[in-house]
Every structure is written in structure tokens, then in C-alpha cells.
Amino acid sequence: MAIMPNTPNAVAEPMMIAVLGAAGRMGSTVCDAIESAGDLVLGPRLDVGDDVATLADSGAAVAVDFTVPSATEANVHALIDAGLHAVVGTTGWTEESLGRVRTHLADDGRGLGVLIAPNFALSAVLAMRFAAQAARYFESAEVIELHHPNKVDAPSGTAVHTARAIAAVRAQAGLAAGPDATETTLDGARGAVVDGVHVHAVRLRGLVAHEEVLFGNPGEQLTIRTDSFERSSFMPGVLLAVRAVAEHPGLTVGLDGYLDLG
């Protein structure tokens, strides 16, 4: 008897996933996670110099990109052209580059999904959400991100995303700029400023990925902290995204877009 698709007895084909940046710290961890997942099969592993267009005929339905900020946008456009859904963890995205991906997806018209998420760790996703919830209630807000010293960019994508969200909530609530009478004697002493929110970057041997969001009022402080001690912390989020991206046509920014966080 033939087993028809979508019947209780049907055996689903494992979905094939390509990985870009497969030789890197995150890419290699993603390859291992896909190989350990029963419902997924690891497809082509691409790294620097490989042609994304070859994925069109590879059988891969989804590609995961953990490459470098200077390459990721071109990779995503090439993935859309090749007809693959994309799950992207690489940092460096701006409103302009996100807008170009949105336009490309709309022009393409095939209903492809792209998720670009600054952080796939649940603790970080929740920290960003809690920071946005707290932002309207405090005079002062600053972000400190702490990472391994091999990280190529600063400030982290997570810190930029956190700061932008805090700034948007503060603006909506009509809050003035945070109080700060400092006259700096050295450039950079107060960190970078993202939409008016100060962001500080620490690089320290032994760290993986960490962030503190500090909120201050007269006589009180709220600290929200997230720690990724191992890259395994990002894998449940990456696998969730890989499985869900085809159900979310268009561009989604942030894993919270795929979660029911209320």
C-alpha cells in the first residue's frame, strides 16, 4: 500500500540545511547540531570563496549564515536568488541593509522567509525583551557587552539591537536624554552612542558572549544580565528558526518574532 503524504503513516523527508561560514566557530557548531537533529540533514557546507549560487540545485531548502558582517548581506541576496530560506546570525545589519532584503523578498515573490537575529540564545532574547519593557521607567540606561577577544566586531549586534530598542521606547515615552555631566578627557571613555544610549564593549580571554543592561533612578538600579558560557546555548534557537523559517515569509528581525513571548 502506498503511503500518502500528510497521512499519519507518512514518513517526512528530513529537511536539508546548508551552512555558510561552516568552518567558523558558530558555523561548525551549527553543522554538529544539524547532524544531531533527527528531522534535519546537513547539506553543503560553504565557507569563504564558495559560490552561493550552487545551492540552487543542491536540494537544500534552508541556509544558515554565520559568516562576517562584510559578507552576510551579499550572501542573503544570493540565497534569495537561489530560492532558499535563510536563517542569519551574522551581525552588522543596518536599517538600510535590512530594507534592501525586504525589497528583494517582495520583488522575488516566491514567499521565501529570512530571519536575521542578533542573538539566538533564549536568555539573550528574553534579556532584550525585558530591557525594552523596563526602558520607560528609568532616567538612565547603559549597555555593557562582554565577549571573547576573537570577536571581529564591536559593539556586538545584540548590544546595538538592545540599545536601539531602549532608545525607541524612551522616545515613545517622551524621556529626556540620560543625565550625564561628564567632560571626557579621552575619546571613547563613555563608549559608543547608539541612538543616544551609551554602549560599552569589553574583550576578555575566557569569555564567550555576555551582556548587562543597567537602568538607574535616584536611589535604585535594575541590572538585566545574560551569559552565554558555551556556543551550544545558541543552538536550540538556531534549530527552532531553521524549522520555522519557511512558515514566516518575508523578513523577520529577531528570534522573538518566532516566539510567543506575550
Ligand X SMILES: NC(=O)C1=CN([C@@H]2O[C@H](COP(=O)(O)OP(=O)(O)OC[C@H]3O[C@@H](n4cnc5c(N)ncnc54)[C@H](O)[C@@H]3O)[C@@H](O)[C@H]2O)C=CC1
Binding site for ligand X (CB under 6 A): 20-21, 23-27, 46-48, 66-69, 71, 75, 89-91, 117-120, 157, 234
Partners of 68 in beta bridges: none
Q: What radius of gyration do the chain's Cα atoms show?
A: 20
Q: Of these residues, 77, 147, 200, 210, which one is catalytic?
A: 147
How far apart are CB 107 and ligand LZUJQKHR at their closest, in Å? 29
Q: Which of 84, 112, 194, 209 binds ligand LZUJQKHR (CB under 6 A)?
A: 209
How far apart are CB 34 and ligand LZUJQKHR at their closest, in Å? 19
Instruction: List CB contacts of 208: < 8 A, sequence separation 6 or more.
Output: 147, 148, 227, 228, 229, 230, 231
Asked if 222 and 215 touch (Cβ cutoff 8 Å), the reply is: yes
Note if 147 is an active site residue.
yes
How far apart are CB 156 and ligand LZUJQKHR at their closest, in Å? 3
Note if 104 is an active site residue.
no
Which residue intervals of the chain are DSSP H helices? Answer: 25-36, 69-82, 95-108, 122-134, 157-172, 235-244
* Binding partner of 69, given ligand LZUJQKHR, ligand X, none, CB within 5-8 angstroms per partner class: ligand X
Residue 42, classed as helix, strand or coil, is strand
Interface ranges with ligand LZUJQKHR (CB under 6 A):
91, 118-119, 147, 151, 156-158, 209
